[in-house]
């Protein structure tokens, strides 16, 4: 089977251009002016609601996919907010609402992405939700390539 005859299915490397917009029309991300996104279909490397809609598409196919928050980055988790003392941040750090931070979890040592939700006189409210949590996502996509994954790619779980 030639690559042109392939249709998106599990264990294939898919290349696609996309533009991601929110309900208000704001363009959040796009690959159109760069290289297409490449991923292994069926490996959970893209959000579930988008991955599900790609099955059966062929090279050159275009589609608009609307992904509900639950099938994208999830709903906003009210338990994913934490108030911390302002004093834990260096004084010279100019904090701004919406600013992304990487913090180390003291229990596991893992780096965690967080965002400043609110700055108070003595405290900072941190939001550990993904920035697109709670958002309905609209993807305009074009499949630009499909090929069988190599044994190595399948074993490693990512495109080489």
Q: What is the pLDDT of residue 105?
A: 82
Q: What is the pLDDT of residue 103?
A: 87
Domain that residue 102 falls in? 78-127
Per-residue pLDDT tens listing for the chain (160 residues): 555 679 999 999 999 999 999 999 999 999 999 999 999 999 999 999 999 999 999 999 999 999 999 999 999 999 999 999 999 999 899 999 999 999 888 889 899 999 999 999 999 999 999 999 999 999 999 999 999 999 999 999 899 8
Q: What is the pLDDT of residue 2?
A: 56
Calculate ∠ Cα 21-136-117, nearest 5°: 90
Q: What is the pLDDT of residue 7?
A: 97
- Whether 59 and 86 map to the same domain: the answer is no
Q: Which residues contact 105 (CB under 8 A, 6 or more apart)?
A: 111, 112
- Whether 20 and 35 map to the same domain: the answer is yes
- Whether 56 and 101 map to the same domain: the answer is no
Q: What is the pLDDT of residue 143?
A: 98
- Report yes or no: 144 and 35 within 8 Å, Cβ to Cβ: no
Judging by beta carbons within 10 Å of its beta carbon (0-12, 13-18, 19+), is residue 13 exposed, middle or buried? buried
How many domains would you assign to the chain? 2
């Amino acid at each position: 089977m030639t690559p042109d005859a392939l249709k998106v299915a599990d264990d294939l490397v898919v290349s696609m251009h996309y533009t991601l917009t929110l309900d208000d029309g704001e363009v959040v991300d796009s690959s159109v002016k760069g290289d297409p996104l490449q991923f292994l279909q069926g490996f959970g490397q893209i959000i579930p609601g988008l991955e599900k809609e790609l099955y059966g598409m062929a090279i050159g196919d275009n589609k608009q996919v609307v992904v509900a928050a639950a099938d994208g980055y999830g709903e906003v988790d009210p338990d994913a907010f934490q108030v911390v003392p302002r004093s834990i941040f260096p004084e010279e750090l100019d904090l701004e609402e919406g600013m992304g931070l990487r913090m180390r979890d003291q229990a596991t040592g893992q780096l965690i992405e967080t965002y400043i939700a609110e700055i108070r006189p003595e405290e900072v409210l941190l939001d550990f939700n993904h920035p697109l949590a709670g958002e309905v996502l609209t993807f305009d996509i074009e499949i630009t390539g499909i090929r069988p994954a190599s044994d190595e790619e399948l074993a490693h779980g990512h495109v080489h």
